[in-house]
Amino acid sequence: MEKVKVGIIGCGNISPIYFEAGRKFGILDIVACADIDIERARARAEEFNIPRACTVDELLADPEIEIVINLTIPKAHADIHLRALEAGKHTYGEKPLAVKVEDGRQILSLAKEKGLLVGGAPDTFLGGAIQTARKLIEDGWIGRPIGATAFMVGPGPESWHPNPGFLYEEGAGPLFDMGPYYLSALVNLMGPVRRVTGLAQITHHERMITNQTNYGMKIPVETPTHIAGLLDFEIGAVGTLITSFDVWGSELPDIEIYGTTGTLSVPHPNFYDGSVKVKRQNQIGFTEIPLTHGFTQNSRGLGVMDMAYAIRNGRPHRANGDLCYHVLEIMHGLLQASREGKHYELLSTCDKPQAFPTDLPEHALDE
């Protein structure tokens, strides 16, 4: 099958694993990279043997590039997606799809008008652990799902991230930075959400960087850092989501799904592997279930690979724009519900992404 040529825009902290995807997944051919700092792009090109480092404009003008991977900071996501689509290219980005809901709608509308695909992170729900969990639900191990919990709580990133300031800007914070992992996993497991409600607060209006790179620098906080939400799924189940950068320690689970005949324990959705456990009715404790699916290593870029096969074979892809937009609207809905003191009714929906089969070849899909 002919390879799909790819260009990466944004050569920062997350980019190396996407450059590795070009080596790992045979259908992808990363031919160029760009960054607002051209020297950083040149350094990544040399590090990963990419043929060309260039400006963003030059990359978007390159006629051979079919997919643009958008790894810019959140507030630049929408602009790069829209520019890539206008240039006639499919686009796949880091989360969230956009900072604003209206920008997300514009991205999907332009893609439909141009006949192009939009996709985005996270693609961790395609990994072996969450695909195994989905199979267990669909095979009836816990009966009909009636509830779920998801918790991402801890201290903020200022102790380890070299430049954490953008993570406290609008479109980031614990909800927009980490929430997409949990919400994408929940939609993959339980289906779309019909309404939400939530409470949110900014606990500290200023944070101090404590890593060695910029120790002592102060960061203004523009977005809520502790958010508690309730999710009303279309299937009738009720979910609880808490995301926080204000918690010093916790023993909460990552994700649990509650069914009429059992409970499913799902590992951290930022990873592709982990321990999947089930406690069925009349069973004393949890039993760990061997993973039924592959892609258990760090497989970021798996969603891009799936998109590339979708382009070549004319089929839907899984980490798609409708899912990304639905997750974006859920997150905004939680904050709007907190501001207005009432439920937020979702205007969007999406299909559950097609599950992976259990017998995929290593580093490939539907060749």
Contact 79, 284 (CB under 8 A): no
Domain that holds residue 84: 4-120
Is position 77 within any domain?
yes
Contact 363, 225 (CB under 8 A): no
pTM for this model (two decimals): 0.95
144 shares a domain with 94: no
Dmax (CA) for the chain in angstroms is: 63
Is position 339 within any domain?
no
- Which residues lie below 8 Å from residue 312, measured CB to CB, with a gap of 6+? 1, 2, 4, 27
Helix (H, G, I), strand (E, B) or coil at 160: coil
Q: Which of 261, 289, 317 is the last residue of a domain?
A: 289
Q: What is the mean pLDDT of residues 240-254?
A: 97
Which pLDDT belongs to residue 363? Answer: 72
CATH number at residue 191: 3.30.360.10
| CA-wise closest residue to 364 among 315, 310, 292, 309 | 309
Q: Which two tokens stand for residue 29?
A: 């051919």
Is position 366 within any domain?
no
209 shares a domain with 74: no
Is position 63 within any domain?
yes
144 shares a domain with 60: no
341, pLDDT greater than 70: yes
Is position 284 within any domain?
yes
79 shares a domain with 55: yes
Q: Which of 289, 312, 328 is the last residue of a domain?
A: 289
1, pLDDT greater than 90: no
279 shares a domain with 174: yes
What's the whole-number average pLDDT of the chain? 96
147 shares a domain with 45: no
Query: How buried is residue 40: exposed, middle or buried, by Cβ count under 10 Å (0-12/13-18/19+)?
Result: middle
367, pLDDT greater than 70: no
Q: Which two tokens stand for residue 68?
A: 């643009």
Q: What is the pLDDT of residues 228-238, one digit of tens each?
A: 999 999 999 99
186 shares a domain with 99: no
Q: Which residues pair with residue 145 across a beta bridge? A: 259
63 shares a domain with 25: yes
Instruction: Please report how the helices 321-340 and 101-114 are oriented relative to each other, as an axis angle in degrees rounded to 10.
Output: 160
**What is the residue-wise DSSP string for 110-131?**
HHHHHT--EEES--GGGSHHHH
Q: What is the mean pLDDT of residues 1-11?
A: 96
Q: What is the pLDDT of residues 259-294, one digit of tens each?
A: 999 999 999 999 999 999 999 998 999 999 999 999
Q: How far is CA 335 from CA 200, 213, 325, in A?
A: 6, 32, 16
Q: Which of 289, 311, 330 is the last residue of a domain?
A: 289
161, pLDDT greater than 90: no
145 shares a domain with 57: no
Q: Which two tokens stand for residue 43?
A: 């350094």
Q: What is the pLDDT of residues 207-227, one digit of tens each?
A: 999 988 889 999 999 999 999
Q: What is the mean pLDDT of residues 171-175?
A: 93
Q: What is the pLDDT of residues 83-129, one digit of tens each?
A: 999 999 999 999 999 999 999 999 999 999 999 999 999 999 999 99
What element of type H or E holds 54?
strand 52-54
Q: Degrees (nearest 5) of the Cα angle 257, 321, 72?
A: 105
188, pLDDT greater than 90: yes
Which pLDDT belongs to residue 178? Answer: 96
Which pLDDT belongs to residue 278? Answer: 98
147 shares a domain with 111: no
Q: How far is CA 189 from CA 64, 126, 337, 338, 348, in A?
A: 37, 11, 24, 26, 18
Which pLDDT belongs to residue 212? Answer: 85
Determine the Cα–Cα distance for residues 320 and 325; give it in Å rounded to an integer: 9
364, pLDDT greater than 90: no
315, pLDDT greater than 70: yes
Q: Which residues pair with residue 183 across a beta bridge? A: none
CATH number at residue 74: 3.40.50.720
Encode burial over 115-150: b for 16+ CB neighbours within 10 A, e otherwise.
ebbbbbbbbbbbbbbbbbbbbbbeeebbeebebbbb
**What is the residue-wise DSSP string for 243-276?**
EESB-S-----SEEEEETTEEEEE--TTSS---E
The count of structural domains within the chain is 2
133 shares a domain with 92: no
Q: Which two tokens stand for residue 352?
A: 């559950």
282 shares a domain with 157: yes
Is position 239 within any domain?
yes
Is position 308 within any domain?
no
